[in-house]
């Protein structure tokens, strides 16, 4: 049982490039989330999804887009990367609703130069 | 907006001593309060959680207390061990439909042998 898997684990982008981060979960969870973690800032919610085909904005959505075409996958896209998007990105999923345990992936360290 | 304050940001204790981390939250509708442990290079992992209808919960060496009137909750680790060294995050489930957890900024706990 893999849990929550994120790919890639590391990436370096040039300013203006685009990329997609993939999150896959095998626990049949309804809810999925994308967070970013910056030093001294904790975890901040970018976007989330409450089920296949749904997405919603979190605290810091600007510059990111997401899609949830399949229940097990949640994609995070950066259309035109900026240095301010240098961060560690975590995907998480939870069963049914927000008041249950969230399972996190191992993270993707993204550097935009 | 909704906010979770966490203190201290760093905590150093001797092995065998107790460690206490405190959090306050602003959203009176919050009703779920998890604590996550993040080891270096890994994603956060749930260690204990508490719901608003309970004042205290214990699991071996860790315990969490909740005071809904004062809107604060605390993590207590007794008989600390070097493997307890990590970053700990508190969180509160946001009321309404605005998404998932709001995290504190984290506490880096160091347990010295």
Shortest Cα distance from B55 to chain A (angstroms)? 17
Q: Are strands B56-59 and A31-38 parallel, antiparallel or unpaired?
A: unpaired
In A, residues 42-101, which contact B (CB 8 Å cutoff)?
42-45, 48, 56, 58-59, 90, 92, 94, 98-99, 101
Shortest Cα distance from A92 to chain B (angstroms)? 9
**Using one digit for the tens of pLDDT, what is the confidence trace for B60-98?**
999 999 999 999 999 999 999 999 999 999 999 865 544
**Using one digit for the tens of pLDDT, what is the confidence trace for B30-48?**
888 999 999 999 999 999 9
| Higher per-residue pLDDT: B1 or A15 | A15
Report residues of chain A scoring pLDDT below 50. Answer: none
Please report, rounded to a whole number, the percentage of residues in chain B having pLDDT higher than 70: 94
Put simply, the answer to whether B34 touches A31 (Cβ < 8 Å) is no
Nearest to A42 among B34, B99, B103 (CB): B103
């Amino acid at each position: 049982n893999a849990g929550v898997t994120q790919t890639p684990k590391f990436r370096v982008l040039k300013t203006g490039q685009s990329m997609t981060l993939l999150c896959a979960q095998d626990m049949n969870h309804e809810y999925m989330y994308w967070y970013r973690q910056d030093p001294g800032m904790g975890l901040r919610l970018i976007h989330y999804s409450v089920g296949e085909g749904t997405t919603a904005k979190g605290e810091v959505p600007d510059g990111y887009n997401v899609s949830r075409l399949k229940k097990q996958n949640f994609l995070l896209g950066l259309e035109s990367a900026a240095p301010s998007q240098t961060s560690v990105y975590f995907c998480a999923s939870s069963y049914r609703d927000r008041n249950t345990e969230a399972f996190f992936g191992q993270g993707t360290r993204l550097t935009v130069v | 907006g909704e906010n979770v304050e966490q203190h201290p940001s760093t905590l150093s204790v001797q092995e065998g001593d107790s460690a206490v981390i405190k959090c306050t939250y602003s959203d009176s509708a919050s009703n779920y309060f998890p604590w996550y442990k993040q080891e270096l290079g890994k994603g956060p992992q749930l260690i204990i959680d508490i719901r608003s209808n309970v004042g205290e919960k214990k699991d071996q060496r860790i315990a969490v207390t909740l005071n809904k009137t004062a809107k604060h909750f605390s993590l207590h680790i007794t008989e600390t061990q070097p493997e307890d060294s990590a970053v700990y995050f508190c969180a509160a489930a946001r009321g309404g439909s605005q998404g998932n957890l709001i995290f504190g900024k984290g506490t880096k706990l160091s347990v010295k042998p």
